[in-house]
Every structure is written in structure tokens, then in C-alpha cells.
Amino acid sequence: MMKVGVLISGRGSNLRSLVAATKEPGFPAAIVIVVSNKPDAPGLDVARAAGIPTAVVNHKDYPTREAFDAELDAVLCRAGVELICSAGFMRILSEGFVEAWRDRQLNIHPSLLPAFKGLHVHERVLETGCRITGCTVHFVRPAMDEGPIVAQVAVPVVPGDTPETLADRVLEAEHKLYPLALRLVAEGRTRIVGERVEIDGLPLEAQAPLFVPPVS
């Protein structure tokens, strides 16, 4: 049973899906702590309602990013965390922190990486006229929204979409994708070879990225 720490900054939408998955019999991971950099993050209530310990490391209380990261690392280590899942965690972590947790930290991003890194993803997707978007779970690296891809899911862009309607559709896909990716990692089925994830038990053509049929 892999011990997971989830980092959040907001409402905990993806956290809710991870909690539900880890409560299922036989799931190979358990969330042992949820940490937020914002004391009023609604996601903390999601964790408490599920009986999961919580902690707040308020970035405003620390003079530097490195000082904040050091406390965050200490909180995770005290909880016995083996794998971090960033789920709407709106802080850029220092290179030292990322390297300390190399290959032990996942993130979910609302695009088919490497396309549309950064913020305002859905607006940019619509501006460019893309017909397909999606979401990606990847291992974290020091550069923003970079790292070996564990899993992706395609989401169609439909006529009349707004950034809000598209975001809702992508978020629905995220809620299915993140638990799947966590399961693959927690089961020990993923290996990083040359910054590419290989997954045991999948045909070669499906390994990187893992492709899930589009969500309608």
C-alpha cells in the first residue's frame, strides 16, 4: 500500500476523485495527508470529511520559496509519504524540492502536454481552433508542466464551447484519469526510461502516453 500525500490550493476537485478511488477495496495506495498552502482551501474540508489528516503550510509565512519548500518537505516526510500527487497546487516548487522527490511526484495538467503548458489553457485552446484537447498526468520536473507522461485522455472541443464549458468537460476527464495513473504507479507498473514512461502489461503502442477514449 503506497502512502500518498496530496498537495492542494483550492476546492479539491481532483482530490475528491483520488479519495474515492483510494477508498475502493484493493486500491494499491492510501492518502495519508493532504497539505494546502492556503488555510481556507475548501479541499481541506474534503479531506477531513474522509478522515484524512490535513496540514497547512502557508506560503505567506515563509520569506523564501526554499524555506516554504523545506517545511513542506518536512511535513510530508513526517507523514511517511512515498508519493506526492499535486492536485491544483498553485505554487512553483524549487528545483531542490523537485529533485528531492524526483520520480515520486505526480501532477495533472488540463491539456495534452507538451501542448498548452502554463495558465489559461482553455482560452488558448479555443483561440487556436483546436478540435481536440485533454489532460495529462506526468511526473514532475523542475520546468513547469514538464516531465515523463504517465497517462493522457483526449477530450473533444465542440462547437459553441466557451472556456468554462470546455474546462468542465476536461475536468470530468481528469477525475477519471488521475486515479488510473495513480493506480499504475502504485502497482509498480511504471518505469522511467530516458524520460519516457514505460508501463508493464500494456502493448507497446499504448505505453506512452496511455490513451483513454475521448470523453463525450
In 128-140, which positions are buried (b, 16+ CB within 10 angstroms) versus exposed (e)?
eebeebbbbbbbb
Cα distance from N-terminal residue to C-terminal residue, the chain: 33
User: Angle, to 10 degrees, between the axis of helix 163-186 and the axis of helix 13-22?
Assistant: 30
Residue 28, classified by CB atoms within 10 Å of its CB into exposed (0-12), middle (13-18) or buried (19+), is middle
Q: Is 59 a catalytic residue?
A: no
- Between strands 105-109 and 29-36, the pairing is unpaired
Q: Which of 59, 109, 138, 175 is catalytic?
A: 109
The pair phi, psi for residue 123, each rounded to 5°, is: -60, -45
Give the count of beta carbons closer than 10 Å to the beta carbon of residue 114: 12
Indicate which residues carry an active-site annotation.
Answer: 109
